[in-house]
Amino acid sequence: MGIPSGQYDYAGHRHGARGRDDPRQTPPRLRRSAYAGRLIRLLLAFFLLTGFAQAEPLRIATFNTELSRKGPGILLRDILRGDDPSIASVVQTIAAADPDIIALQGIDYDLERSALNALADALTAAGAPYPHRFAAPPNAGRQSDVDLNGDGKLGGPRDAQGYGRFFGQGAMALLSRHPILTEDLQDFSTLIWRDLPGSLYPMIDGKPFAGAEAHATQRLSSNSHWALPVQLPDGPVTLLTYHATPPVFDGPEDRNGRRNHDETAFWSHHLAGVIGTPPQDAFILLGDANLDPTRGEGRGDAIARLLAHPTLQDPLPDQSTVDWSQTGPMRVDYILPSRDWQVLDAGLIWPEGKTPAAMHWSGSTSPADAPLS
């Protein structure tokens, strides 16, 4: 299957759903973009600059690659074969966007990180080296030995701590050109859902859905929640990243909708110092929330609170990041820098034609010593 070239829109004042009435010159670092038809999500990228005039710009991105396969080892095999159009599309898209740090979702985890390393090697061959790589054991596909979804059976993909037909299916990873401070990682993936303050774990007639054992076993994270510092030349930045479950594919108890809400609500508790140690310096919250503040079946108040959080800024307010045939445009992917960053540029990538994603950039610059509104 051929790989179409990407469209680029540069937005100053945006009008319309995707701001396509102000086309300008393609950003010089972003000349090419590619997507295979199966890619649904975008790559969301930003230029960020610290408040100091001498600081080097940082480009950071989040990307749900949707490269997950149906069994363990298959993704590694497909990467090594070098002839899979969806993998080629992901590699070309990332290489064209050229982020310094990228959070990936939808990439299968294995204990030796072989698939992640193979993908990074393919990116190196494409001119986009990422010497620093991180992945940790996720909840996706981690069997619980408990009937978590209340269907009276054990061992199904919904009895895993996070949905998965095998351990690590559709997990998370991080690629970076700067050292990743793994010794300072805070991994919240083992937090039991009921232990989140104000947990929305479903209760039926005053009793926990699927029973007391499920209530005591079910973790909050369907995948992972990481607070992971990266060492930049001017100091560390902490990345708060996650990939929440979709708020659908459940029953009247709204198990997934409630969990999706709480996976995002977790960060409000973390920033308040209720769970873990909140960032003391510059940080960036990014990932796939699977949650729009106003559209869809999710409980959007959780992400709305983050978007209004006094320590965060939103470089692309109201910008849709997916265009699913079932729902239409929605915003489910986010990069929210702390307010001690100056945002130089921000944008999305959408493909040509009727496929659901294009490169779209919105620029906002301000003097390095100017206060942020």
pTM of the model: 0.84
CA dist 329 to 196, 240, 291, 355, Å?
31, 25, 12, 12
The string of pLDDT tens digits covering residues 246-265 is 999 999 999 999 999 999 99
CA dihedral 132, 138, 141, 142 (to 10 degrees): 130
What totals of helices (H) and strands (E) does the chain contain, helices first?
6, 17
Please indicate, yes or no, if residue 369 is contained in any of the structural domains: no
Please indicate, yes or no, if residue 370 is contained in any of the structural domains: no
Please indicate, yes or no, if residue 73 is contained in any of the structural domains: yes
Please indicate, yes or no, if residue 172 is contained in any of the structural domains: yes
Any idea which of 46-60, 239-253, 267-281, 349-363 has the lowest mean pLDDT?
A: 349-363
- Residue 112 CA from chain centroid, whole number: 22
Q: Domain containing 185: what range?
A: 8-359
CB 94 within 8 A of CB 43: yes
Please indicate, yes or no, if residue 20 is contained in any of the structural domains: yes
Report the pLDDT averaged over residues 120-149: 98
Give me the percent of the chain exceeding a pLDDT of 70. Answer: 79
Please indicate, yes or no, if residue 331 is contained in any of the structural domains: yes
CATH number at residue 284: 3.60.10.10
* Total domains present in the chain: 1
The token pair that represents 271 in the structure block:
């920033």
Which pLDDT score is estimated for 340?
A: 87
Residue 9's pLDDT band (cuts 50, 70, 90): very low
